Amino acid sequence: MVAGARAASPEPDGALTVGILDLQGDVAQHAAALAELGYRVRLVKRPADLDGVAGLVLPGGESTTLSMLLESTGLFDAVSAATAAGLPVLGTCAGLVLVAREVLDGRPDQRVFGLVDIVVRRNGYGRQQQSFEAEVPFGSGEAPPLPVVFIRAPLVVSAADGVDVLAALEGVPVLVRQGSVLACSFHPELTADRRIHAMFAELCESYAVETQSVGPGRPSGARWLISG
């Protein structure tokens, strides 16, 4: 947890607050997805915004730009400290690049958090013109396939043994988890399927219980509440 930050806790009505990095990318779409699941959203623009959140979404965008903005705002070190203390993270598209251990075809000075033991290639699925949609088996394969949207998506080149591969496209991992970090090369916020955000929400609930000894705080009804 960042210095001076209080533990994750529910708001008075019982809803946990989840942060979304608001420097670039699909912020509004992620906020709407979390709202459908009944969570408050805080837009994270500076280190103090991490105070009390139960998880952090690293949205899609341009990974090198996000890396530079994280540095210039002081958020890189703050996020690193928070995740080292167990703060759950959902990284999507560019967010997958940011949580990877190693990035191919990135800038030499690009910094990443190294939270998941994977090697990724930036824009490994092609440029904007090669964007596509597909469906992939999810989990054990008994559930309905997962709709996926790839836009200038990073490609997972390799994943270490400690990384759980939760979904793959033609044998290539597209959804992975390691510890409290969930990451995917696609954009789950651009479909109506909320299973990825629900998985992330469960990690946030567990983190809140561990840090504050509180029970699950999911309210009834979907709302988008921006807390300051």
- Here the CATH number for the domain that contains residue 109 is 3.40.50.880
What's the pLDDT tens digit per position in 19-70? 999 998 889 999 999 999 999 999 999 999 999 999 999 998 888 889 999 9
Which of 11, 102, 135, 187 is catalytic? The answer is 187
In a domain, 2, yes or no: no
Q: Residue 12 has what pLDDT?
A: 37
Q: Where are the beta strands (DSSP E) in 7-88?
A: 17-21, 40-44, 56-58
Q: 71 catalytic, yes or no?
A: no
Which of 123, 133, 126 has its CA nearest to residue 192? 133
In a domain, 1, yes or no: no
Q: 93 catalytic, yes or no?
A: yes
In a domain, 181, yes or no: yes
Which of 11, 30, 71, 93 is catalytic? The answer is 93
In a domain, 34, yes or no: yes
In a domain, 89, yes or no: yes
- Give the structural domain span for 204: 17-212
Q: Residue 213 has what pLDDT?
A: 42
Decide if 52 contacts 8 (C-beta within 8 A). yes
Q: Are strands 132-136 and 172-178 parallel, antiparallel or unpaired?
A: unpaired
Buried b (16+ CB within 10 A) or exposed e, 148-162: bbbbbbbbbbebeee
Helices and strands (H and E) in the chain: how many: 5, 12
Q: 205 catalytic, yes or no?
A: no
Is residue 6 helix, strand or coil? coil
Which of 107, 90, 102 has its CA nearest to residue 37? 90
Which of 71, 102, 142, 189 is catalytic? The answer is 189
Q: What is the count of structural domains for the chain?
A: 1
In a domain, 6, yes or no: no
Q: Which residues of the chain have pLDDT under 50?
A: 1-12, 213-228
In a domain, 36, yes or no: yes
In a domain, 100, yes or no: yes
